[in-house]
Structure 1
Amino acid sequence: MFKKVEDGERAFDAILKQIIANIEAGDLKAGAALPAERAMAEAMGVSRPAVREVLRALELLGIVKSVPGGGNYITENLDTWLIGPLSILFRLNNGYLRQNQQLRAALERESALLAARKCTPLDAAELWMILARLDAAEDEKDRGKLDKELHQKIARIADNPMLYCVLAAADQLTESIIEGTRDYIMKKNQSASVVDEQHHKLVEAIINGDADQAEQAMSEHMETIEQYMEEMQQEQQRERR
């Protein structure tokens, strides 16, 4: 799995490169245990502190999970490893929730467009099933979970791992405000039906393979969500006064 680091190579870069290469090749799968630090150091001809430094960096990125007394493991959900770094970047730039929602909207539009081009009959059946469960659900928490499941399914149909990974991170960052927005929508007269109609329009466009219509439907849906976010935040500000 690991080989000697060549002379002249910077240890940190070489160790990192080999670990990432093993993940990409599937030799280190999600949830898999990494060899002991001593074994990795001996295999690559580097010091244990050098290996530990790389593992700590990968842990900060969310790619590796360290268990005290139990070794190091590749994170079980590689799709969401960007959440940590993106959260840090978001805070360092004093990002607002609205800015993150704008990022999510751009990613969602591209996902819808790609999904319409790649949707299979099986994908179509699964989309209809999620939509039917969403229509039938009455509990708001259940509806929120199904709403999220629908968007995640569309992103997976798009079949772009990088797009899905960044979208998952952006979605995680705004999860609390999105849930709050949906609660707010449900309290408004007929507002929920607007979102439900948008979901139907979106799914129909994807299943019909109409990429332009799917992108447009998602754009309208994201604009609606952003409107309610702004409205909700304005009400919260008035309540604080």
Structure 2
Amino acid sequence: MLLLSFQPIKIKKIYEEIVEQLKEMISNGELKPGQKLPSERDMAESLGVSRASVREALTALEAIGILDIRPGEGTFVRETSVSATFAPLAMVLEMEQNPGGQLMEVRRVLETEMAALAAQRATEEDLKNIKTNLNHMKTAQTISQSVEADLRFHFTIAEATHNTILLRIMNTVADLMHNAFRVQREELFADKGTEIICEHEAIYNAIRDRNSEAAKSKMLQHIDNIQAGIEFQ
């Protein structure tokens, strides 16, 4: 008789259920790139949840580049969304040995080069967006908000490369990392938040100063420190 080692079922948070539903709608084409989502109030009523839960879900999806929240206009599906790749890739990674360590290797390859490219190509608007997320990390009221701002910081660097393919790959990797290691990242930020923010500031300064080598070096140092601070199974 085949014996399987099942793990206890964990109850998802409400916002995570909303995230999964929206991802599925985008994946199956019910929501298309560029399409505007219903208002937070309408979504909350349809789902039978609070507006706060809807807002948290939308913020999480914006952080990984799936949605675009435009103040005064509404929330839109990003044109660069590749959510259809999330589920199959996540399943493959679940079957791999040490998927976290492998994802960090992917980040090391991708993000060091993206930082270098951003230093060469970032517009003033790109620099403003990177700086804004850095400031959000500093002023966040909770650890969770700091981690969300951290994620958006890295995504805006990817945007600053002006390379659509890199942006798409970053979307996928960031989503997998965020979902799989959110708790560990929050614990790490709680312990070394000041150090992490300083590392991000050094990356931003190098990009702002158009110093590609320094941007690449500072990003590598940051990713190495993050990997050292998280124990991957």
TM-score between both structures, scaled by the size of structure 1: 0.60
2:162 partner SS: coil
Distance apart, 1:181 and its partner CA: 2.6
Q: Hey, what's the Cα distance between the residues in 1 that align with 2:78 and 2:142?
A: 32
Return the letter of the residue paired with 2:167.
Answer: Y
Find runs of 4+ consecutive structure 1 residues off by over 4 angstroms.
Answer: 74-77, 92-95
Matched, 1:174 2:177: yes
Q: Distance in 1 between matches of 2:214 and 2:78?
A: 37
- Residues 149 and 93 (structure 1), Cα distance of their counterparts in 2 relative to 1, 3 Å cut: same
CA contact (8 A) 2:115 2:219 kept: yes
Structure with bigger gyration radius: 1
1:106-134, CA deviations, whole angstroms, 9 ceiling, x for partnerless residues?
Answer: 21112111111101112112222221222
Answer 1 or 2: higher relative contact order, Cα 8 Å, separation at least 6.
2
Correspondence 1:199-218 to 2 at 5 A: 199-218=200-219
Measure the CA separation in 2 of the matches of 1:147 and 1:75: 20
Gap change, CA 1:80 and 1:159, over 3 Å in 2: farther
1:82, 1:165 within 8 Å by CA — same for their partners in 2?
no
Q: 1:96 to 1:133 in 2, by over 3 A?
A: closer
The alignment status of 1:30 with 2:33, answered yes or no, reads: yes
Structure 1's unaligned 5+ residue stretches are 1-28, 33-73, 235-241
What SS does the aligned partner of 1:82 have?
A: helix
Deviation at 1:198, TM superposition (A): 0.3
Q: Distance in 1 between matches of 2:79 and 2:115?
A: 26
Tell me the distance in 1 between the aligned counterparts of 2:153 and 2:181: 14
Identity over aligned pairs, percent? 22
Q: Matched residues in 1 for 2:156 and 2:83: separation?
A: 15
Contact 1:115 1:158 in 2 (8 A): yes
Change (3 A) 1:89 1:118: same
Q: TM-score normalized by structure 2?
A: 0.61
Q: Verify: 1:194 aligned to 2:213, yes or no.
A: no
Q: Distance in 1 between matches of 2:134 and 2:78?
A: 30
Question: Which of 103, 115, 124 is the equivalent residue of 1:121?
Answer: 124
The answer to whether the 8 Å contact 2:118/2:207 transfers is yes
Separation in 2, partners of 1:206, 1:82 = 30
Q: What is the aligned length?
A: 161
Residue of structure 1 equivalent to 2:81: 78
**Which residue does the alignment assign to 2:134?**
131
What is the one-letter code of the residue matched to 1:216? S
